[in-house]
Amino acid sequence: MENHRMNPFLAQSTLVRNVIVVLCVAMPWLNPFASSPSTAVIPLLVSWMMAACALLAVVDLPLAKPRWSAVEVVVCGALVVWLGALLIWAPQVVDRALTLGLLASLVCVWLMAAVGRRAAVDESLLRWLVAGLLAAAVVSAVLGVLQYLGLARELSPWVNQPLKGDAFANLRQRNQFASLTSLGLVALLGWVAARAKAQNMTSRCWALAFALLNLLAAGVACSVSRTGAVQWVLVGVLMAAWGWRSAKQDATFGKGLVWLALATPVLVAVWSVVMPWLALQTTGEWGASMILRVTGQAQDYAACGGRRVLWANVLALIAQHPWLGWGWGETDYAHFMTGYSSLRFCDMLDNAHDFPLHLALEFGVPFAVVVMALVGFWVLRRSPWREQQPWRVMAWGLVLVVGLHSSLEYPLWYGPFQMTLGLAIGLLWAPTDSPTQVEAQEGPMLMAALLFLGCLYAAWDFNRVGQIYRQAASRDAAYRDNPLHHAKQSWLFKNQADFAELTTQTVTADNAAAIYPQARRLMHYSPEARVVQRVIDSGTLLGHDKEAQELAERLEDVKQNTPR
C-alpha cells in the first residue's frame, strides 16, 4: 500500500527532474542577454551554471562504467599538467579571466559528459535531453525566420535584433545559428531512427518530423551560412547511408528515415529560394540567398578578410613559436606585432578559426599534435562506422557538427557548444555492453557546486566592472558615484577595468610613467590603435624612443592593411 502511495510522488519528481534537464539544455541557446565590456561573458556563465544544474539534477542516477587503463590515466594526467604549465609560463601576460574561463570550460564539458554517461543507460532521460536540444533548435529557427523577414522587432529585448536581412536567433552569429539548426537536425533524425527501430513511428510522428524538418531547413536557409549548408548535406547523406544499411539488416526498420534524411539538402535548397522571395513581400527587398553564397556569387568580406589569408598568417605565427606557442590569449597581440611577407589579415585576430591550428598557435605544435592524436585514437577506438544503436549514431552526429564547425571557426569558445560536446562524449564514452554503476555523488556534486558558485562570483564581479561602460543613469546605485574606483578593485576582470581607465586618459609628462606599463600590458588584452598609441606617446616621453618607433611602424603597417 505504501509503495502505491509513493509511485505518484516518484513519477512527479521524475517529471520535475526531466523538465529541469530540458531547461538546462535549452536555456543557454535561447538566452538573449549579453553585456559590455565582454559580450561573451554572460552567455558563458549561463551555460556553465546550467551544466552544473543539469548534473545536480541527475547525479543520483546510475551511469555507464568507463574502462580506464593505467596508460590512459597517466596520459590524461600528464596532459593536464602540461596544459597547466603552458597556461602559466607561455604567455607574456596571464589574463586571469581567460585562464579561469578555459578551466571552467573544461569543467563544463566534464559535467555534461557525466550527464551523458547517465543518459547512456537511461533512455527516458536521453529522450528528454534530445527534446531540450531539438526545442532550442526549433525555437531558434522560428526566431531566425522572423528576424530574416523583419518581423522580430516587437520581440525585443527577448530576441536579439540583427542588421537588416541577417538572422541568427539569440546566438549573435549566423554560423553558430546554422550549427544549432544542424544539431537540431541530428536530434530530429536520431529521434526518428530510435522510434523506427522500435517500430513506433506512426503517421502523426512522420508528419511532425517533416514539419520540424521544414522549420529547421527554413532557419538554416535564413542564416545563409555555407558552414550550415555543408553540415546539412553531410548529416543528411551519412544518416541516409546508415538508415539504408539498417533497413538491409532489419526489414522492419523501413526506409522512411532514408527518404527523410535525403530530403534535408533538397529542403534547404527549396527554402533558400522561397525565403528571399518572402523577404521581398515583408521588407520590400530581396533577402540574402544561401545559394548565391555557396556558389560564390555573394561575398561578405574583402579579399584580406578571407580564411585563406587568415590561415596563412596563422601558419606564419606558428613558425615563430613552434614549441611552446605564443601563450593562451595572445593571438591578437601576436598578429599585431608580426609583419607578414604575404597579404595581412585585415582585422583583429583573436582565434585561428581552426581548432588544431589554434592549439598549435597558442600552446605549441607538440601539444597540438598530442591532443589531436588522442582525439583520433578516442574516435577510432569506438569505430563510429560500425554503430548500430540510433542514439549513439545521433551522438556521433553531434560530434560531427561541432567538429566541422571547429575546423572553420571556434564554436567551443561558447558555452552551448561546450555542453553539447560534453553530452555527446558522455553518450559515447563507454561501449554499449559496459556494466552500470552508482557513482559516489560527493565528487560530482562538489565540482558542480564549485562551478556554480564561481559563476555567481564572476557575474557579480563582471557587473561591478561593467558599470563604467554604462551611462550614469543606468548604473547600479551602489556604484553610481565612483564606478571606476569600484571596478579597479576587480581581480578577475582587471583588464576590462584598466582598459576603460586607459582609454579615457590623455598622456602627459605627469602620468606617462604610470600609463606606460599599463598600456604595454593592455596591448596583450586588446592591441587596438588607441592602446598602442598610448604606449607610443608615453614611451616617447619616457625616452623609450626605439620601442616607440617600432610600435609606430607596426601601427602604420596595420592601418595601411585595414580597409577603410
pLDDT in tens, 252-286: 777 899 999 999 999 999 999 999 999 999 999 99
pLDDT given at position 254: 79
Confidence at 299, pLDDT banded by 50, 70, 90: low
> Once rounded to an integer, what is the mean pLDDT over residues 427-434?
87
Is the four-CA dihedral 263, 269, 271, 274 of positive or negative sign? negative
CA distance 476 to 455: 20
Answer whether residue 535 shows pLDDT above 90. Answer: yes
Query: Residues 508, 514, 517, CA angle at the centre, nearest 5°?
Result: 115
Provide the pLDDT for residue 4.
46
Residue with cell 526531466: 18
Label each residue of 183-227 as H, E or C: HHHHHHHHHHHHHHHCCCCCHHHHHHHHHHHHHHHHHHHHHCCHH
Averaged over 210-223, what is the pLDDT?
98
Residue 278: predicted pLDDT: 97
* Whether residue 5 has pLDDT greater than 70: no
Which stretch of 119-133, 240-254, 442-456 has the lowest confidence by average pLDDT?
Answer: 240-254
Confidence label for 79 from pLDDT (cuts 50, 70 and 90): very high
pLDDT for residue 86 is more than 60: yes
Whether 101 shows a pLDDT value over 50: the answer reads yes
Q: Where are the alpha helices (DSSP H) in 467-507?
A: 483-487, 494-502
pLDDT (0 to 100) of residue 300: 65
pTM of the model: 0.96
Banded pLDDT at 564 (limits 50, 70, 90): low
How high does pLDDT run on average in the chain? 94
Q: Which of 249-258, 321-330, 417-426, 550-559 has the lowest mean pLDDT?
A: 249-258
**Residue 486 and residue 479 in contact, taking contact as beta carbons nearer than 8 Å:** yes
Q: How high is the pLDDT of residue 1?
A: 41
Per-residue pLDDT averaged across 143-154, rounded? 96
Return the higher-pLDDT residue of 510 and 165: 510
Half-sphere exposure of 398 (CA within 13 A, CB side): 30
User: Which residues is 270 bridged to in the sheet?
Assistant: none
In which band, very low, low, confident or very high, does the pLDDT at 72 lie, cut at 50, 70 and 90?
confident
Residue type, 196: A
Strand blocks (E) in 410-516: 436-437
pLDDT at 473: 87
How far is 432 from 238, CA to CA, in rounded Å?
21
Distance CA 166, CA 290 (A): 12
Average pLDDT over residues 370-392: 95
Whether residue 157 is preceded by a cis peptide bond, meaning omega within 30 degrees of 0, is yes
Q: What is the pLDDT of residue 360?
A: 99
**Binning pLDDT at 50, 70 and 90, where does residue 120 land?**
very high
What mean pLDDT comes out for the span 292-309?
Answer: 80
